[in-house]
Amino acid sequence: YVGGKTDDVIMRIADIQLAFPFILLAIMALVVLGQGLLNLVIILAIGQWVVYARIARGETISQKRKDYVESARAIGVSHPRIIWRAILPNILAPLIVIGSFNVAGVILSEASLSFLGLGVPPEMPTWGGMLAESRDQLLGGYWWLAVFPGTAIMLTVLSLNILGDWLRDFLDPRLRGR
């Protein structure tokens, strides 16, 4: 909302993080930190903040130039009140939609890292871990050991993407009359 040097520094950090493929950063961090659910959650969260920050920044810049914000500023409404009462409600819809799509990406990232043996410990059941265990069994004719976890991942990600698409349509005020 305020902009300035802090905004520039945060966005440059975000640009640097976006310059590297997330999966490679996650592999490197998990090799250094070691396996574990907490490490995996922290790495997945750190890897995803950039998307939310960039969307929130862009929407905030767009909203703060609208007439209703200028009017509120002209009559002396405080900046925190403008942020909480005018801008935040209008930027939540895109963030919710991005969040629903992002959950699917996090599921795929976790499955990929667990498949590589870097996610959660092997004694914790995950779809990626199940796929990793089924690698050796495929040549023996036990195809279902890979098909069912893979299908579960696919259906979950597909359903989350459909939910995100529906949320985008539902929360878009331009599409409400249709």
**Cα 23 from chain centre:** 13
| Percent share of the chain, pLDDT over 70 | 97
Buried b (16+ CB within 10 A) or exposed e, 87-96: bbebbebbbe
- Residue 164 is predicted with a pLDDT of 85
Which of 7-11, 87-91, 109-113 bottoms out in mean pLDDT, i.e. has the lowest? Answer: 87-91
- Cβ-Cβ contacts under 8 Å for 73 (sequence gap 6 or more): 82
pLDDT recorded at residue 9: 93
Chain Cα centroid distance, residue 113: 16
Q: Using an 8 Å Cβ cutoff, are 111 and 40 in contact?
A: no
Say how many Å lie between the first and final Cα of the chain, rounded: 33
pLDDT of 156 over the 90 cut: yes
Q: Please report which confidence band the pLDDT of residue 154 belongs to, taking 50, 70 and 90 as the band edges.
A: very high
C-alpha closest to that of 30 among 111, 132, 108, 113: 113
The dihedral over CA atoms of 120, 101, 59, 76, expressed in degrees to the nearest 10, equals -70
Tell me the average pLDDT across 33-61.
Answer: 90
Q: Contact at 8 Å (CB) between 55 and 11? A: no
Average pLDDT over residues 119-145: 86
